[in-house]
């Protein structure tokens, strides 16, 4: 279904859908008055995102999901920075909560997620195939010498 939607529209549309769900929850919890504050943000956010996606820049290419190799690499570096900051922040928050004898389980969830994400990333990005050293003189040199 997502493939039938133009790439530039996908993220703004997702923002709009999640915004609508969030607005529905806010209305259920706090009444229609909450829409006065939330409504403009929920509508303006996707519109700004869509308009920005039409520009000729790296950020616009990321919004359009039409990245060349440098932009994709830059996107990965940005994700790495975000991951490092978030995991560092979660660790510091955990230590602060532990020192203050506050509730720890929300931070433990974050730290567990960090470990799970690290393992998942390791498994997903692993390179399949034989990684044994088959250079002359090594125990696995027969792999190439029999040719």
Partner 1 sequence: MLDISGMLRYLDITRNRVREQRTQRGLSQAELAAALGVSRQTVISIENGRYLPSLPLAFRIARFFDLTVDKMFDPDDEEAAT
Chain contacts with partner 1 (rule: CB under 8 A) = 56-58, 61, 68-71
Question: Minimum CB separation from partner 1 for residue 59, in Å?
Answer: 10
Report the residue number, 42 or 62, with the smaller CB distance to partner 1: 62
Considering only CA atoms, which of 3, 2, 45 is closest in space to residue 22? 45
For every residue of 35-62, which 3-state class applies, written as one string?
HHHHHHHHHHHHHHHHHHCCCCCHHHHH
Residues 47 and 134: their CA atoms lie apart, in Å, by 57
CB of 133 to partner 1, least distance (A): 23
Q: Which is nearer to partner 1, 52 or 114 (CB)?
A: 52
Q: Residue 84 or 132: which CB sits closer to partner 1?
A: 84
Q: Find how far residue 96's CA is from the centre of its chain.
A: 26
- Smallest separation, CB 71 to partner 1 (Å): 6
């Amino acid at each position: 279904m997502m493939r039938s939607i133009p790439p530039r529209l996908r993220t703004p549309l997702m923002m709009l859908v999640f915004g609508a769900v969030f607005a529905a929850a806010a209305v259920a919890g706090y009444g229609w008055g909450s829409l006065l504050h939330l409504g403009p943000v929920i509508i303006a956010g996707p519109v700004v995102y869509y308009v920005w996606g039409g520009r000729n820049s790296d950020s616009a290419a990321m919004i359009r999901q039409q990245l060349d190799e440098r932009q994709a690499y830059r996107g990965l570096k940005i994700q790495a920075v975000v991951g490092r900051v978030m995991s560092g922040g979660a660790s510091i928050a955990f230590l602060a909560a532990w020192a203050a004898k506050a509730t720890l389980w929300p931070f433990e969830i974050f730290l567990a997620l960090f470990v799970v994400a690290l393992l998942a990333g390791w498994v997903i990005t692993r390179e399949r195939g034989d990684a044994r050293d088959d250079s002359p003189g090594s125990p696995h040199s027969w792999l190439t010498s029999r040719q």
